[in-house]
Amino acid sequence: MAKQPDTVRDNPMGELANRLNERFKPLEVSYDQYFVYLKVEPQALVSVMQSLYEDWGMNYLGNLDAVDYGEEFEVVYHLYGIPAHNKKIAVKVRVPRHTPSVPSLTSIYPTADWQEREAYDLMGIQFAGHPNLVRVLLPDGFTGHPLRKDFGKGA
C-alpha cells in the first residue's frame, strides 16, 4: 500500500494550493489528494475564475453545486485542466440566504449556462449577468425552490 503524502512538499495538490494562496489570497485554501479548495468573496469570483482559466489552464467547468447551510448558500465550482493537466480546483463562494446572488460565469465557462439555471431553478440563487436566467427543470409558474431546506415550510 502506497504511503499517503503527509506534507505539502510531498503532495502536488499541496504545492498547487500554496501557489494559488500566494496568487489570490483567498478567504481559505485547503487540499486533499484530489482537489485544491479555494473559498473566495463573491466580488472576487470573476477575476479569480478568469485567471484560473487564462493563466492556470483550468479550461473546463465540470460541475456547479449549490448547498444550503441555513443562513447562507455555498456555490461550488469544480474546475479541470483538459486534456493534459493533472490539476483539479474547487472554488467556493458563500452568499447570504436573503440575497443569494453571485456573478454569472457564462462568459468564461460556457458550461456554466445550464448549471447556473439549474441552481437558480432549484435553489433560487441569482447569477447576475446570466444571458437567460429562467427555469430549466420546473414548470413556468412554479412557486419556490425545492432544494432549499425551508421549502414547504411556509418560508
Residue 22 phi, psi dihedral angles, 5° rounding: -65, -40
Supply the Cα-derived Rg of the chain in whole angstroms: 17
Q: Is 149 inside a domain boundary?
A: no
Q: What is the CATH number of the domain that holds 14?
A: 3.30.460.80
Q: Is 15 inside a domain boundary?
A: yes
72, pLDDT greater than 80: yes
Q: Is 31 inside a domain boundary?
A: yes
Q: Is 151 inside a domain boundary?
A: no
Residue 2: count of CB within 10 angstroms of its CB: 4
Mean of per-residue pLDDT scores for the chain: 89
Q: Say if residues 145 and 136 touch (Cβ distance below 8 Å).
A: no
Q: Is 20 inside a domain boundary?
A: yes
Instruction: Please report which confidence band the pLDDT of residue 9 belongs to, taking 50, 70 and 90 as the band edges.
Output: low
Domain coverage including residue 88: 8-100
Query: Strand pairing partners for 64?
Result: 77
pLDDT, one tens digit per residue, over 102-148 is 999 999 999 999 999 999 999 999 999 999 999 999 998 999 999 99
Q: Is 150 inside a domain boundary?
A: no
Spell 43-81 as b/e; 16+ CB within 10 A means b: ebbbebbeebbeebebbebeebebebeeeebebbbbbbb
5, pLDDT greater than 90: no
Q: Is 13 inside a domain boundary?
A: yes
Per the structure, how many domains does the chain have? 1
